[in-house]
Amino acid sequence: MIIAIAAIKGGVGKTTLTFCLAATLSQIGKKVLCLDLDHQGDLSAAMGAGKDDSQPSLGQILYAPKRDQAAMLAKGIINIPGYCHLITPGSNLGSFQAEIENGLSSESRLADALTGFNNVYENYDYVLLDTPKGEGLFTKNALVACDNVIIPVQTEYFALKNIPELLELISQIADRANPGISVSAMVPSRMKQTSLHKSIHEQLLEWDVREQLSHQKQQAWIAPPIRDLTIYAELSAQGESLYTYSGVKKEHRAPFVEIAKHLEAMKSNGVHHEVTAVG
Ligand SMILES: Nc1ncnc2c1ncn2[C@@H]1O[C@H](COP(=O)(O)OP(=O)(O)O)[C@@H](O)[C@H]1O
Ligand SMILES: [Mg+2]
C-alpha cells in the first residue's frame, strides 16, 4: 500500500505522523519504505539521516530518464534500523523542481519510478510518502503515485480551512492521473484540551470527504487524536523513536497503533488497488 501523508499546510504534523507510523508498522513486523519528498529533509533528520545520505537522492531519481528510475530507486534505499528503509531528498531537491517542470510528465515521475520498481509491493507492506507544504510538484507527485492519502489535520481553525483546497487537488488528480486515489484517514493532530480544539474535532468527525470527492465510495476514517505534547517534538530532536525513547507511554503510541490497525484492516478487506502502469 502506497500512502501519501499530505496536508497543504506546514507544521501540522505530517512528518511526525510519518515517522511515528513507520516505527509502529515496523514494530508489528511490517516492511516499510519511507520517501522524504521535502527538501528540508525533516523526516530524514528525525531518523538520524542526512539529506544526501541516499545516493542517488530522490531529486536525482525523479529527474532521471524513466528507464533508469527503478534501478536508481533501488540503489538510493538506506536502512534505518528499528524504523524502515528510507530515501532522502538530497540537498538539491528544490533545484531539480524547475528542471523537472520543464520536462514532460513532471507530475508522474514518482509513479513512474515506483511502477518500474516492480518489487515495491513484494518487498514492502507500506510505502509512506512524506510531502512538503503547499500544492507544489512534489506533493502532486506523491498524490499521483499513491493508493491512499492520510491527512493530518491540526485542530485549529485555519487547518480545517485548508481541507477543501486539498480535497479539490485530490479530486483533480483522480480525474486526470490517479483514478484509484482514496482519502483513507484524517488524523486530528496536535490536539489541545481546550473547548475550541474539541469543537474543531467535532466538526472534523462530521466531515464527509465524499462531498468533495465524487469518485470516492467510502467515507474517510477519522483517527483518534494525537495530542499536542512535547514528547512528540522531543523524539525528532533526540533522534529517538516511539519505541526507544524513555518517557514514551502506551497512551502516546495508542493513536499510531490504531492507525496501523486500521490500515491492516483495509488491506485485508482489499480496500486498495495495486498501481498498474501509469502513462
Ligand atoms: N503532536 C505534537 N505535539 C507537539 N509537537 C508536535 C506534535 N506534532 C508535531 N509537533 C512539532 O511541530 C512541528 C511541526 O511538526 P511536523 O511534523 O514537522 O509538521 P509538518 O511535517 O506538517 O510540517 C515540529 O517541531 C514537531 O516537532
Ligand atoms: Mg514535514
Which CATH number do you get for residue 86? 3.40.50.300
145 assigned to some structural domain: yes
Helix or strand or coil: residue 72?
helix
278 assigned to some structural domain: no
Helix or strand or coil: residue 276?
coil
Q: Give, as one character, the DSSP assignment of residue 244.
A: T
272 assigned to some structural domain: no
Return the pLDDT at 279.
36
185 assigned to some structural domain: yes
36 assigned to some structural domain: yes
**Domain membership of residue 26 as a residue range:** 2-265
- For the segment 249-253, the average pLDDT, to the nearest whole number, is 97
- For the segment 132-151, the average pLDDT, to the nearest whole number, is 97
Q: Which residue's CA lies nearest to atom 23 of ligand 1?
A: 11
What's the total number of domains in the chain?
A: 1
167 assigned to some structural domain: yes
Q: Average pLDDT over the chain, rounded to whole?
A: 93
Q: Give, as one character, the DSSP assignment of residue 151.
A: E
277 assigned to some structural domain: no
In total, the chain counts a number of residues equal to: 279
Residue-wise pLDDT for 144-156, tens only, equals 999 999 999 998 8
pTM for this predicted structure:
0.95
Closest-lying ligand 1 atom to the alpha carbon of residue 38: 21
219 assigned to some structural domain: yes
From 16, 36, 42, 242, the mutation candidate for ligand 1 (largest count of ligand atoms within 8 A of CB) is: 16
CA 148 to each of CA 52, 58, 90, 145, 255: distance values in angstroms, whole numbers, following the listed order: 28, 21, 25, 9, 18
Q: Is the pLDDT of residue 182 over 50?
A: yes
Ligand 1 contacts (CB < 6 A) are 7, 10-16, 42, 189-190, 226, 228-229, 232-233, 236
